[in-house]
Amino acid sequence: MKTLQSIFIIALLALTAGISVRMFNQWQADQQPIPLPEFSFPDLNDTQHISNEWQGKIIVLNFWATWCPACLKEIPAFMAMQMQYAEKVQFVGIALDDLEAVKTFQQKTAVNYPLLISGDFAGFQLTKKLGNLINAIPYTVVVNRDGQVIYHHAGELTTTELQAVISPLL
């Protein structure tokens, strides 16, 4: 019986150590800037936009969907920040949604930054490359002027949190 308990305790310690190492490695990876991967998605008029189009500006990529309440809650604040920082910051909404739903939303809301349509699969693949390991939306990424991803956030992002990231870059 003691042998079984010892094996169980050793296995539990090994599992805990493995999880701790994985979490530490992920934390370290999250601290390192990574280059923004190249991507290309169409806007509502089917015009393709590529990832380096806004090079030289701070880019805020927001992955969202029309069916996501937290996503819709963020958009008015992002629109206000786009207006406030238009010279230095470019917000880009990447919809993990279909074209018609986003067009309908845009007609009601008049978002003042580009809305790109990625569909589900391509958009979620890009978010994974950007650190979204759990496929959460909304998912927001900040890219510095050098094209390096310096921040990512799963879930609803407040204006205060985002300004804390952007302000030092201005």
> Which two three-digit tokens encode residue 115?
């809305």
Q: How many Å apart are CA 90 and CA 79, to the nearest integer?
A: 10
At residue 32, the pLDDT reads 78
Both 69 and 8 in one domain: the answer is no
> Structural domain of residue 11, as residue ranges?
1-32
Is the same domain home to 137 and 76? yes
**Main-chain phi, psi angles of 149, to 5 degrees:** -75, 115
- Give the number of domains in the chain: 2
pLDDT of residue 120: 78
For residue 118, the tally of other CB atoms under 10 A from its CB is: 20
- Do 78 and 7 share a structural domain? no
pTM of the complete model beyond 0.75: yes
In this structure, are 51 and 28 located in the same domain?
no
- Do 129 and 158 belong together in one domain? yes
Dist. CA 73–CA 43, nearest whole Å: 21
Same domain? 41 vs 75: yes
Per-residue model confidence (pLDDT) at position 9: 64
Average pLDDT per consecutive 10 residues, the chain (170 residues; last block may be shorter): 66 56 44 88 96 94 97 97 96 96 96 94 93 95 96 96 94
Here the tokens at position 164 are: 């804390």
Q: How far is CA 110 from the centre of its chain?
A: 22
Question: Do 8 and 23 fall within a single domain?
Answer: yes
Q: What is the pLDDT of residue 121?
A: 86
